[in-house]
Chains A and B, each alone.
Chain A
Amino acid sequence: MESLLEFIRIDMGSPGLATLVSNPKFAFIQLLNSVSMGMNFFIIAAGLSLIFGVLKVINFAHGAFYMFGAYIAYSVTETMGLSFFWGVIGSAVGLVLLSVVIERSLFRFVYDKEHLMQLLLTFALVLILGDVAKIIWGTDQYSVSYPASLSGATNLGIAYYPSYRLLLCILGPVIFLALWLFIERTRWGRITKAATQNREMLAALGINVPIIYTGVFVAGSALAGIGGALASPFNSPTPGMDAIIIVECFVIVIIGGLGSLWGTFVGALIYGFVFNFGSVIVPNGQDIFAFLILLVVLLIRPWGLFGRPETEGQ
């Protein structure tokens, strides 16, 4: 058992920690890494959280949507030779089409079924979509190049930092703001928000609830696709990436609180920080740290930082 201690010990003399303290430039870059990674996660997890908030369905296939986004970005940029921008657009459009079909043909039959049925339906999709991706793209690991205009580094005074990652740091808050403004400041946003509280009431008011459901599902899935496309330059599209990302998204939305946009934002940032600083302090320790944070949050607030206590059940 000697290595259990070695495994979980935070070595105060670890080279990572020492560098972090003595080298502000290194710490600064880790900080930006955390934010850019967190923002990429936010874009993906926001879709999952949005779908849960309104439809009350945890979509296991969200990871598969992310994977499709990454693959489509590859096909558009590398195979078709279009620019990275069109790769992102192509992923979004592809996911819109895919999710409309899935929502209309399968999902709408399970909204009033038990949670177990809904979860398993999305798992069936994971299985099938994984194979579909294998049929279309095979099992190779692809690389997607950074967009030419962003492939360099930007001088931030303290240090140079990859421009592409800076873009992510900006894009995350922009998408957060856009979602927030949509939900809080537009009529459709308010209706969507109301749909999270009381479906029957909305239906009684003559609002077309199925359309809202389709819209939310499609928007959430498109976010997964965009997130996958944005991640593709540093996270090569490969089979099995869906099963990993979905668990990361789960951790983020559980920490933040299911269905809360703020919670997802904060959860994603926490995850980014834990992942980057955790692996500096204990090499390969990032996953363990993430789950430890999850445990601590759940001990204090079982429903997550920004979530509400569940009212149903006991």
Chain B
Amino acid sequence: MTDAMTRSAMAGCLISLALLISVPLFQSAYLIDVVTEILIYALFALSLNVIIGYSGNVSFGHAAYFAIGGYTNAILLTSHGWALVPSFVTSILVTMIAAGFVAYFCTRLTNIYFAMLTLAFSMLVWAIAFKWRSVTGGDDGFVGIRVPEIINNRAHFYYFTLIMVTAATTLLWFICHSAFGRTLVAVRENATRAGFVGVNTRLMRWWAFVVAGTFAGIAGAIFGMFHRGMYVESAFWTQSATVLIMTLLGGMFSFFGPAIGAATLFILERITNEYTEYWPTVLGCILLVILLFLPDGLAGLARKVRSYVAGSN
């Protein structure tokens, strides 16, 4: 992982941001919707990578926090008539507390045990969303989320999403490149050694989990308002697996990789669905290709291509 942002990476970020800002200028509702959703999934995947890439644990239940953020925001906005800011902030706090609670249990374990436990907790969230019909709408979903007037317009909502995702991503970038982020990587690389230089490794992994969960909650809250509904599928374990594939496709050893993975997978899904109903098979094959040929994802591939080009010159 590079220390400082290189000049080319910085340029890449600025160009991407300029392009993203200009999206509504094309006057295409379809384009705006697609990019909005990509932005949401990008944040979701970036948040997951704090656990996977930086702390080295595999969470199979990250969708839970996405759903908690989404449902809380939906309930506060719609059932309780809260204004956007308090509702949004409270949703983030609720997600943070939930992630902190779950992380207390999960960080006692590592490896497969950690993965299984995160999965079990996400299914608990799913079961609650499914069964608590009077509040969440059960398997009919929470439909008709009241979207505050100020962002109740496609372009406005787009800019709202862009600002939120950019701010969240910037925050995540600083966290991942902070003293905390550096130490977290050390815990991933060698937890025993990190313990013997004075790091409480479990506490580090707890914080990584909380940070990841919180940012997933932000993505979920935006997602609910965008679709004007939250559905139990959002908390189901296969959703956790999908975002995991996004992260891996992009590359978990790169900060921006997961965002690229999210965009790629989302666009591929849209295209595939035009032609066939068998997107899962395509996704399964993509996954096999990543596992067998692209262990470091697209970011790793880009790095290899770059060094190959540099080598042949």
Contacts and interface: CB of A to CB of B under 8 A. Distances in A.
A5 B60 CA distance: 29
A302 B191 contact: no
A90 B258 CA distance: 44
A291 B123 contact: yes
What is the interface of chain A mostly: helix, strand, loop, or mixed? Answer: helix
A10 interface: no
Contacts of A285: 131
A65 B283 CA distance: 19
A22 B238 CA distance: 43
A127 B135 contact: no
A314 B288 contact: no
Kindly name the residue among B52, B131, B195 whose own CB sees the greatest number of chain A CB atoms within 10 A.
B131
Interface in A115-146: 115-117, 119-121, 123-128, 130-132, 134-135
Nearest to A121: B291
Given A243-B238, A302-B109, A128 B117 contact: no
A200 interface: no
Contacts of B238: 126, 243
B163 to A, nearest CB: 31
Nearest to B121: A291
B291 A117 contact: yes
Given A127-B284, A250-B116, A313-B191, 14 more contacts: A7-B135, A116-B115, A117-B291, A130-B280, A131-B284, A247-B120, A250-B119, A287-B131, A288-B124, A294-B120, A310-B109, A314-B110, A314-B192, A314-B202
Contacts of B291: 110, 117, 120-121, 124
A114 to B, nearest CB: 9
Contact of B281 (A109, A116, A131, A302): A131
A248 to B, nearest CB: 9
Contact of B119 (A56, A124, A247, A295): A247
B132 interface: yes
Interface in B97-156: 105, 108-113, 115-117, 119-121, 123-124, 127-128, 130-132, 134-135
Interface of B: 52, 58, 60, 105, 108-113, 115-117, 119-121, 123-124, 127-128, 130-132, 134-135, 191-192, 195, 201-202, 236-238, 241, 244-245, 248, 278, 280-281, 283-285, 287-288, 290-292, 295
Contact of A247 (B58, B111, B237): B237
Nearest to B248: A120
A156 interface: no
Given A124-B291, A247-B119, A302-B108, A288 B245 contact: no
A284 interface: yes
A119 B57 CA distance: 13
B287 A119 contact: no
9 pairs of A and B residues whose beta carbons are closest in the complex: A127-B284, A313-B110, A287-B127, A128-B284, A124-B287, A291-B124, A127-B280, A124-B284, A131-B281
A251 interface: yes
Contact of B280 (A110, A131, A247, A312): A131
A299 interface: yes
Contacts of A123: 241, 284, 287
B131 A3 contact: no
B111 A312 contact: yes
B116 A58 contact: yes
B260 to A, nearest CB: 18
A180 to B, nearest CB: 24
A86 B113 CA distance: 38
B195 to A, nearest CB: 7
B60 A119 contact: yes
A58 B284 contact: no
B192 A303 contact: no
A298 B117 contact: yes
Given A58-B112, A119-B115, A302-B108, A127 B283 contact: yes
Contact of B132 (A7, A117, A130, A295): A7
12 contacts: A3-B134, A110-B291, A119-B112, A124-B288, A125-B284, A128-B280, A131-B284, A135-B278, A299-B105, A312-B110, A314-B195, A314-B201
A4 interface: yes
A258 interface: yes
A254 interface: yes
B270 to A, nearest CB: 17
Contacts of B202: 314
B133 to A, nearest CB: 9
Given A288-B131, A291-B127, A310 B113 contact: yes
Kindly name the residue among B127, B248, B290 whose own CB sees the greatest number of chain A CB atoms within 10 A.
B127
B128 to A, nearest CB: 7
Nearest to A283: B131
Nearest to B110: A313
Interface string A230-250: 000000000000010001001
A90 B98 CA distance: 46
B106 to A, nearest CB: 9
A115 B109 CA distance: 14
B113 A120 contact: no
A251 B237 CA distance: 13
Contact of B278 (A110, A119, A120, A131): A131
Kindly name the residue among A124, A128, A284 whose own CB sees the greatest number of chain B CB atoms within 10 A.
A124
